[in-house]
Structure 1
């Protein structure tokens, strides 16, 4: 006998997009691609581009709270290779690094303008692997396909940070009025070969294998902790 009364509602049809501009608390899961990163903890973590020398972090995002819970979308983040800026650094990595910092600030309730030693320490990681499982407030967009042969996709529009109007309610899993992005169809980009441009290791970095923000005090909105669930378990 099977009692199906406690089963979760069925998931949305495969391929149905999250509405443009949706605010949601999401969990990021890294899907290893077999390519080594530049730190020991990132062995086999990255994915190689099929069209350039770029190396990427292949990420799956799952909505963890609210009416769209369990809906997913996927996105790659360049962490090495690709086009160079005027300083000879990876444009893709600089963009990804800013996004990863915002994820940590959102997950821990850190003021993005907080440059105190304690806040800076929480933003130091031993490898990208330590971002696996992080939960944060996100604004999700619909990215139009470049041509008719492809389908539109959900992407991370931006990370929602403490102090922003939608942050607290999003982290509590409440419904928040969407703010559509209305993105134009993306253009195919040509990637130029380059060598990785990783940030140099900090002399104040914590011991290898530890998550530096694991002991941070979780911020709260009422009785609801806004710190990532994987730190509180």
Structure 2
């Protein structure tokens, strides 16, 4: 029974982190708050936090508490005062914005990229592919891929834009993380790998139109996957495609 309570609490906190309700670097509710909110024991709370630590989604500091995953200190941070991504509507607006910005960045990358920049895009894809089963690494390497494409555009404003948005611009569908949905999550993960591969191949070929189309398709699919995963369980709708 306690195992199910642990899984339920971990899933709830996991969703809050992935959806941006708890922002990177933000402190999670205290043990006492979680005990009161969920009606569980301290043992269950600590087991759930340990599970999230193992997934790389939570950092716990003795005497301070537990915090949502924070982007590495040597990476780009969201600009001070940046608009938070805290709701489903926020996420959909952000994906629409990214579609306009990153589609053009991909086209420019196909035209302007250097060999070094192409290797950076390829390396980011390799790291993302290797991150299956580790949500924190997947989120970071997914962001690194898009950041590398922006850098390859040759226009620093694209890189600055993504750096300002920060790592939480990545929409991670709950299907990547839901307990008991490992096969389904892997289907989605593999699909994203293929979409990234299409973007890389078009940039490598110097095909501006194909690179733009591949990026637009990827972000449109990301929006579809996110909308499907954000649908309440009681709301009817088709099973999202992988």
Indicate the structure whose relative CO is greater, using CA pairs within 8 Å and at least 6 residues apart: 1
Name the TM-score class by shorter chain: under 0.3
Compare the two structures and name the one with the higher strand fraction: 1
TM value normalised by structure 1: 0.27
